[in-house]
Amino acid sequence: MKKIHLVLLVLIAISIGVLISFTNTTSTYDTIGTAMSKPGKYVHLMAKLDKSAPLEYDAIKNPNYLRFTAVDSLGLSVAVIYNNAKPENLEMSERLVLKGRYKDGAFQCEEIQTKCPSKYKEEEAKGLKHPGNQPVPRTAP
């Protein structure tokens, strides 16, 4: 056997080992129920914002504290705490991917991915009445 073949085999073995160890670090997509059943474990929680529940965020008091309630399609809900700035399109999103852990009665979220309705589809349904055709009111300071 050539030396180079030996090296080849060793490197391929390492690569396979690396990929297998990668699969051990992967997490799972969960509903609120299954996430609550494994507290402390990192999951991807698929849910949406409960607009009827209060949302707590005051950038002046603490720009790194957001608390809201998430509900999933099975009807369960959970309080979510996110120590970061509020994603600006949170209220607009139709779906949220919340990455974090269920701990101490709340979902400690590390990352929020917002899934917004496609801007075109939405506006198409309304028939061209997209904000682009209207003067945009000055809403920011």
Partner 1 sequence: MKYIGENLLPGQLGHFFILLSLVSAGLSTISYFFAAQQPESNESKDWKKLGRISFIIQALSVTAIFSLLFFIIQNHLFEYHYAWKHSSRSLEFKYLLACFWEGQEGSFLLWNLCQAILGLVLIRKAGSWESPVMTTVSFAQFALSTMVMGLYIAGWKMGSNPFILLRDSGVLDNAPALHVNFDISQPLLPDYLSSIKDGNDLNPLLQNYWMVIHPPVLFMGFASTLIPFAYAIAGLWTKKHDHWTTPALPWSLFSTAVLGVGIMMGGMWAYESLSFGGYWAWDPVENASLVPWMTGVAGLHTLLICRATSHSLRATYLFFILTFLFILYSTFLTRSGILGETSVHAFTDLGMNWQLLAFLLIFAIPSLFFFFRSFNKIPTVPQEEEINSREFWMFIGALVIFLSALVIIGQTSLPVFNKIFGTTIAPPADVEFSYNSIQLYVALILAVLTAVSHYLKYKSTSRTFFWKKMLIPALISAIAGALFLIFGEVNYQKKGVVFHYSITLTILFSFYTIITNASYIWVGIKGNINKAGGSIAHVGFGMVLTGILLSSANKEIISTNVNGIPAPLGEGENPQENLTLVQGLPVTMGNYTLTYLKDSAHPKKPLWFYKIQFKNQKEKEDFILTPNAFVNYKGNQGLMANPDARHYWDHDVFTYITSLPDPENQKDTATFKSYLQQQGDTLFYSNGFMIFDSIQTRDNLPKELFGEEGKLFEVPIRVKSKTGTSYLVTGRAAFVKGQWISLSDTLVSEGLILQLQEANPKGTVRLGIKESDALLKYVTLKAYRYPFVKVLWYGVWLTAIGLLLSMINRIRKNRTANMIS
Distance from C-alpha of 50 to C-alpha of 116, rounded to nearest angstrom: 15
Q: Which position among 25, 40, 52, 54 is part of the footprint of partner 1 (CB under 8 A)? A: 25
Amino acid at 55: L
Q: Binders of partner 1: how many residues, by CB under 8 A?
A: 62
Query: Does 60 help bind partner 1 (rule: CB under 8 A)?
Result: yes
Shortest CB 118 distance to partner 1, Å: 7
Residue 47 · residue 98 · CB < 8 Å: yes
Q: Does 52 bind partner 1 (CB under 8 A)?
A: no
Residue from 40, 47, 62, 56 nearest 106 by CA: 40
Q: Is 124 in the site for partner 1 (CB under 8 A)?
A: yes
Interface pattern 70-109 for partner 1 (x via CB under 8 A) = -------------xxxxxxxxxx----x-x----------
Say if CB 122 and CB 80 are below 8 A apart. Answer: no
